[in-house]
Structure 1
Amino acid sequence: MEKRLFYNWVLRQNGYLKFAEFTLKRAVHKMKRDLLRETCVFYPPEIRAAAPFSFKPERLRWAFRSASKQENSASARKLDGFHIDWQREHDDPEETEALHRWNWLLALLPDRTSNEGAITRWVDLQLIEWVRLFSHEIEREARRASLIWESYTVGERISNSVLFYYFMKKEPPKAVMESLTEQARFLVQRLEYNGMRTGNHILNNARAVYLAGVAFDAPAWRQFASLIMRRELPVLVTADGFLREGSSHYQFLFTRWVLEVAWFAELAGDGELIEMIRPAAGLLIKRCSFFLVKGADGSWDFPRFGDISPDFRPGWLVDLVWSKPAARFLEPQREAPTSGSDTWAGLFGFAEGNGTENGRKEDAIQAFPGSGWYRLDAAGHTLFFRLDESGPPMHAGHHHNDLFHFCLFYNGEPVLIDAGRLNYMLSDARGSYGLRPEAHNAFTIDGLGAAPSGWHLYPQAYSRFKNRVEIETDRDGIWILLTSNAFSRMERPVEARRTFFISRPLFRITDSFSGTGEHEIKTFFHWDKALALSQIKKGEWDISSGAVRGRFRVIDPQSSSIRHERGGEGFFGWMVEGYGSAVKAGSLEISARAAMPFEAVYEISWEERAGHVRY
């Protein structure tokens, strides 16, 4: 459908030359991208000029103090019985890369106080074996096709090993240190610069080079990484402090990278770098707080927008704003949650808060139109949505086709959620489904989402659109109007509007469509896994969990076809909790064939007190 629309658009626009130019640019870009894997000629000029390509530390020296600890022999014997199968390949390349990124090293750290000697001994053996099997590939042509030598994977491997041995207060084996220094040199020559498609990976590359520079007392690497960060942070982070890539999980992950660099900069006495990243770091932390919602049980969570990173589960980063590295840039607003030591913040320790509430501001609207993010807290509701002033984004990112999508919490409990993207394999229908509007609380018109699928493959003139947000309050409640001309690329263009109305007992959605002719409108709602939906009659369900009760209605459902799934054979009726992990959850699809103009209304009425629901 989309391709037919596009070719008809080319005919209508008499755009053969534009299309030919666009196709040629894409081919040249792909050629450059492939060439970039083995050359630095496409580095920005100032980066290429400063790159220490031939630098190697004069002597192999671990910069951190090592401590001698007594080994727990029982634990050592238990760990010694297991050896990593480094040659194993998984169906999902991300799982293969995860093994070689050494992310799992950080999962061992919470046990370090009781099993430090055993853990270190076992890790030393595993990494020495890795070096034996793979380090020689760094000089071989065969590395070009290997996931092990992808730049992001190399960077993660360096950073995670530096973090592990730093926290363990141990020096890595000599063979591992030699390999890490060679990998840092390798990474300097393979930074992930990719023109306008340069994304968060470049900051991850810089983090690895910087941490290696601190760990091996290599000022040249530190200075080079600092230059990269100085150049790229203002590009990747909006003026409001959001990572520009459309993912709430990556907001936390990216902030973590920046804070780790700052932590090691302090160890190295690099005050200049700390002051350089201070403005961005403070804003990034604030925008992590923007996403935080406190549940009825006192735990904290955040809505999932965009991709979920395969590197670390979302819960591992949820308490980042209370960490000691974060507190050096922004004092926490309240006492730290009792997350324990098995989170990222737990590795570094928690800072004391000032006692004020974090994230939630009752009857408050937090609007960042320049970054596209909005949050409303009112009448027990917490509403999130993302709407760029124009779209779709043409830079690299982890966005989904989620225009008009929203996430809703009530009294701190998740109600309507993003169904999520299970994996990054476009060949797997479960992975590609998560990108589409059908996986969001959004709608399609004649099977089309607001943005073309794979929008960056089309000319901007075809896929570009404008959006608008209007917010009004009166004594009845709060009205939020989202408007977009995203469907103007259709042969019979449609203007779409979504209005949220919020009051004490009610959350209402009104979708309005104007245009000509008949169109098929499909609207999707995805409910949190904890919510049970019990149908009362067509178009009406009781919704309930331990902390939330209410009723969801489709106003005038007789003209609609309604589908309800929970854990169906396809991916409709599932909720992604982490990369590669999904659980059953309720999903609704409401379809109507309607002449324009058309309006659809949906309501949630909330229970106000035990045993009574106001309908």
Structure 2
Amino acid sequence: MPGYRKHFIAESANFRRTVLRQPWRWLHYAVSLALLVFRRISQTLRLRLRKEAHRGLKQWPEWLDSKPLPAGEPQPLRFPSYAVRGADSRTAELPPVFSAPADDPETALAHHRFGYCLAAVLQDKAAAQRAARQVAAWIGNAPAKSEPAWETYSCCERVVNLAALLAIHPEVQGEIDPEKTRAFFADSLQWINSHLEYYGMARTNNHILNNARALVVAGSVLGVSEAVERGLLIFTHMSRSLFLPDGFLRERSSHYQWIVTNWLFDTLHFARATPALAAAAVQALDELSSLSRRVAQASGALAASLGDAATHIGDISPDAHPALTLERLRSLYPEALTTPSDVPGRMDDWLLFSKGADALVVCGFPASYPIDYTTHGHSDLGSFIWMHQGQPVLVDSGRSSYAANATPRIQCGPQGHNTILVNGVGPLAESVLQAGRWLPTPYAKAHIELAMTAGGFRMQHDGFARMAGVGIHRRTVQLADDGLIVEDMIEGVADAAIEMFWHFPPEFAPDDKNLTCIAGAGLCLTVESGAADARWQAAPFAAAYGDEQAAPALCLAWQVTLPCTIKTVFRVSPCAE
């Protein structure tokens, strides 16, 4: 694959040309950049002045009561039971919890998050005993609170993973000293409460929901109803912003959709087991119950569209293999994946379309770009996953790692998706700074439209208009009886270099004798495009965090005079045995 730097250089060069053509905007851009630099310097100084470990830029939510949480009265710990289905039969079927390289920071954090408990909750007593003994060893030699293991998110994962293990396998509770178990939950509860990952409404992401979940779980286990109430109030308040009306998390990731669905149903399960909740907590619980029905429909529709396919849109969480995330939902909370009678079509910014043996999955964007909040989405406007007879044919590259190296940058960029580039830049502006993220407007501003059609979907945007002489881009994707038809129309009055990428699963292999053919999983495909240049490349593909496979990607290129229309036809048939 071409290096990601090529696209950064093209974006930066185009911005400089745009600025030179628009001297009346120089002051505006200079002020915007100065404010960005000022914020960075200010944040750096604040971080240096804050001596307390893991305090960072966290702040107490201005809408939340700051009354200290009580320690709770000594009483037996309570772990609400589950009706786990077929736990003893799943030992050999579950994927690994974590498989990143040893030098990936997430590898060490997985141990401190009790990731081994995730699989153990769905396995037999022996697996649960091994996990409980690992927890006991960790508690007996816990790291100092200045260590990375005590960052709030990791602390929350520990609390819930252990509580779920002991709730589902009560027979292993004796593997950990009861007083040490109590002290673990009590200490973790107070730590999380004093280190909430809140940075203001605009800069707070899904982590705050994990904080809320952990407060509810620890509070329920310890019998501290005030903690349960606080967790419910936080989850309710933040979910109004973080979830969209139809139940999708706004962060544009299929895996994180299922991750946070687990969090929501964990919260409900432990909160409902807590007696004598205050009126505010009961009201919040009712609101979350209503939210859970919408989220279950969204997560269920997404699972029905993708099945157990090893391709995922947006970032992939390091906390669990996507297959394990889904299996946990199916086993612990079968109601969390509502199976639709038919594919619902448009839900929030997602489009789920099926016709016969084929399905399309699209994660769109809000109507206006840049997005003013953090997401786990990628630069993938116009991209989609194509499933044929339950088999992925066109895939998303996923994300192998959160490390700042070339592979994840390729996977997150437009060249890692089934999309189009004009003069080396993607449909939407990327940062014009290498160190930091700066999307200056109006340069980066774009308007986006996404709509279903009778046979697929239609997308339109003006993101390419940041280049002189380039106008609106329209992409129409239609399922056909024997494949797929993609039509790209680009308006403008300039000469342009067009690149188009098509990503196939790792098990597919191009035909050495015919550049337009590829086969795999019992399917044969031909790609008709009329491209002046067509070449196959090895692209990085991830089915889970830590996974990195070489997958075939077809790169098509044209030199055109705008306006132009490019039609790409995919024909699929069973391979001859």
Q: Does structure 1 residue 317 correspond to structure 2 residue 311?
A: no
Contact 2:185/2:222 (<8 A) preserved: no
Query: Alpha-carbon deviations, 1:69-102, whole Å to 9, x = none?
Result: xxxxxxxxxxxxxxxxxxxx95222222112111
Any stretches of 5+ residues in structure 2 without a counterpart? Answer: 1-9, 82-100
Distance in 2 of aligned mates of 1:53 and 1:7: 52
* Pairwise CA distance, 1:303: 4.7
1:392 Cα shift?
A: 3.5
Within a 5 Å distance, the mapping from 1:226-305 to structure 2 comes to 226-269=232-275, 272-293=283-304, 300-301=308-309, 303-305=311-313
- The correspondence of residues 106-125 of structure 1 with structure 2, limited to 5 A, is 106-114=118-126, 120=132, 122-125=133-136
- Aligned-CA RMSD value: 2.9
Partner of 1:416 in structure 2? 394
TM superposition score normalised by structure 1? 0.79
1:562 paired with 2:534, answer yes
- The 8 Å contact of residues 215 and 227 in structure 2, kept in 1 or not, is answered as yes
- Number of aligned pairs? 526
Out of 544, 556, 559, the position equivalent to 1:593 is 559
Cα offset, 1:563, TM superposition: 1.7
2 CA distance for matches of 1:177 and 1:55?
A: 14
SS at match of 1:209: helix
Counterpart position of 2:224? 218
Give runs of ≥4 in structure 1 deviating > 6 Å: none
In the TM superposition, residue 322 of structure 1 has moved relative to its aligned partner by 4.1
Give deviations 1:390-440, integer Å, cap 9, x for gaps.
2232211101000010100011111000012110112x1112111101111
Q: Could you tell me how far apart the structure 2 residues matched to 1:450 and 1:235 are?
A: 27
Match of 2:104 in 1: 92
Bigger Cα displacement from structure 2, 588-597 vs 10-19: 10-19
Structure 1: stretches of 5+ with no match in the other structure: 67-88, 334-357
Contact 1:378 1:502 in 2 (8 A): yes
Distance, in Å, in 1 between the alignment partners of 2:126 and 2:187 is 33
Q: Percent identity among equivalent residues?
A: 22
2:396 aligns to what SS in structure 1? coil
What is the aligned partner in structure 2 of residue 449 from structure 1? Answer: 426
- Judge conservation of contact 1:93–1:147 (CA < 8 Å) in 2: no
Comparing 519-528 with 448-457, greater Cα deviation is found at 448-457
Contact preservation (8 Å) 2:261, 2:296: yes
Structure 2 SS opposite 1:14:
helix
- Residue 44, structure 1, aligned to residue 46, structure 2: no
Alignment CA distance shift 1:444-1:325 (3 Å): same
- Residue 351 of structure 1 is matched in structure 2 by none
Check whether the contact 1:445–1:522 (CA below 8 A) recurs between aligned residues.
yes
Secondary structure of the residue aligned to 1:601 is strand
Deviation sequence 1:184-219 (CA, Å, 0-9, x none): 212212111123121000001111111111111112
Q: CA deviation at 1:7?
A: 3.8
**Higher mean C-alpha deviation, range 264-273 or range 252-261:** 264-273
Hey, what does 1:19 align to over in structure 2? 29
How far apart are the structure 2 equivalents of 1:156 and 1:601?
Answer: 48
Which residue in 1 is equivalent to 2:160?
159
1:343-492 pair list within 5 angstroms: 358=340, 361=343, 366-368=345-347, 371-388=348-365, 389-426=367-404, 428-454=405-431, 457-473=438-454, 478=455, 480-492=457-469
Change (3 A) 1:413 1:430: same
What is the letter of the counterpart of residue 551 of structure 1?
A: L
Rounded Cα–Cα distance in structure 2 between residues aligned with 1:301 and 1:423: 20
SS state at 2:63 partner: helix
After TM superposition, give the deviation of residue 58 of structure 1 in Å.
4.2
Distance 1:311 1:149 in 2: 16
* Equivalent position SS for 1:317: helix
Q: In the TM superposition, what is the alpha-carbon distance from 1:610 to its structure 2 partner?
A: 7.8
- Asked if 2 retains the 8 angstrom alpha-carbon contact of 1:252 and 1:288, the reply is yes
In 2: Cα distance, 1:17 partner to 1:58 partner: 62
- Bigger RCO of structures 1 and 2 (CA < 8 A, at least 6 apart): 2
Task: Quote the residue 1:78 is aligned against.
Answer: none
Distance in 2 (CA, whole Å) between partners of 1:124 and 1:310 is 20
**1:256 to partner: Cα distance:** 0.4
Equivalent in 540, 543, 548 of residue 519 of structure 2: 543
2:482 and 2:56 map into 1 onto residues whose CA distance is 61
SS at match of 1:497: strand
Give 2:314's match in structure 1, choosing from 289, 306, 313.
306
